[in-house]
Amino acid sequence: MRSLLNFLLRFKTLILFLVLETVALVMISSSHNYHQSVAFGAARTVSGFFARRLENSRSYLRLKQINQQLVTENLILRRQIEELRPIPRTDYTTVHDTVNGTSYSYLSATVINNSVNKQKNFITLDRGSNHGVATGMGVASAEGITGVVVGVSRNFSVAMSLLNTDFRLSARIASNDYFGSLAWDGKNFRYAQLSEIPHHVAVNQGDTIVSSGYSAIFPEGIVIGTLTGDMKKGGDFVTLKVQLSADFKKLTDVYIIGNLNRAERDTVEAEVIDE
């Protein structure tokens, strides 16, 4: 209490000035319409400033929840796309999922460990065999393909990242359907290289690169990235530089893709190749 009294006595002149100034401003603003409108405008500006900052803070805190909602909606849409695929001709005998007739399954997962600064990068996910995950399944985010599952435990799995010099993926140019082999050269985490493209193929900067569907891992048409316009020539083919759609430094939510007909495909291909 004594400290408060000492403070008031020490700054009594300043406090009295501020009180009188406040009273004067209130009297001026209440007695003249112009001053009143200026005061109200200033008050609205200040309150609007803090309201915007508060709303921005709330939006930032809700980003994780919004991102998870988007991943869930993306999974639902992909399942619906699978259900809408054309039914095969009835004179062929084919094997389909007995539950919903789809060819691929999708499972959401969260990235719990990830690297981008090594030559051989891997991604750890919070889904394992208890959730139906198996080696050889594909991994993708809402932006594009990110890797392939290479190790599974009961509750976790590890995927070989696209940012791994051992990673290879069959990819095609969406505008003309020419396909090649996509790989990462171990340098910039934002770019990969699409090789084995014939010289005569017309390509343009910004052309979209998607999965070809030739592998048993990813369905056709999943986005990988876009062409930068850079090209290396050698022999009968050219190598094109691809800017990856997925930003691996921001990777948080992904989905795991399972080919429901892969076992049958692998079996028949192995039989023919081994002959």
Q: For each of the chain's 275 residues, which pLDDT tens digit applies?
A: 666 666 666 767 777 767 776 766 666 655 555 555 555 455 556 555 555 666 666 655 566 666 666 666 676 676 666 555 544 433 322 334 444 345 888 999 999 999 999 999 999 999 999 999 999 999 999 899 999 999 999 999 999 999 999 999 999 999 999 999 999 999 999 999 999 999 889 899 999 999 998 888 999 999 999 999 898 887 789 999 999 999 999 999 999 999 988 888 778 877 887 65
What is the Cβ-side half-sphere exposure of residue 96, based on CA atoms within 13 angstroms?
15
Range of the domain at 23: 2-61
Is the residue at 86 inside a domain? no
Q: Are residue 124 and residue 257 in the same domain, yes or no? A: yes
Exposure letters 239-275 (e unless 16+ CB within 10 A, then b): bbbbbbbbebeebebbbbbbbbebeeeeeeeeeeeee
Per the structure, how many domains does the chain have?
2
* 3-class DSSP state of 150: strand
> How much is the pTM?
0.65
Is the residue at 71 inside a domain? no
Alpha-carbon distance of 254 to 110, in angstroms, equals 6
Q: Could you give the maximum distance between any two Cα atoms of the chain, in Å?
A: 102
Q: Are residue 120 and residue 176 in the same domain, yes or no? A: yes
Q: Are residue 50 and residue 112 in the same domain, yes or no? A: no
Q: Are residue 184 and residue 255 in the same domain, yes or no? A: yes
Q: Are residue 23 and residue 133 in the same domain, yes or no? A: no
Q: Are residue 163 and residue 238 in the same domain, yes or no? A: yes
Q: Are residue 142 and residue 47 in the same domain, yes or no? A: no
Is the residue at 81 inside a domain? no
Q: Are residue 121 and residue 201 in the same domain, yes or no? A: yes
* 3-class DSSP state of 71: helix
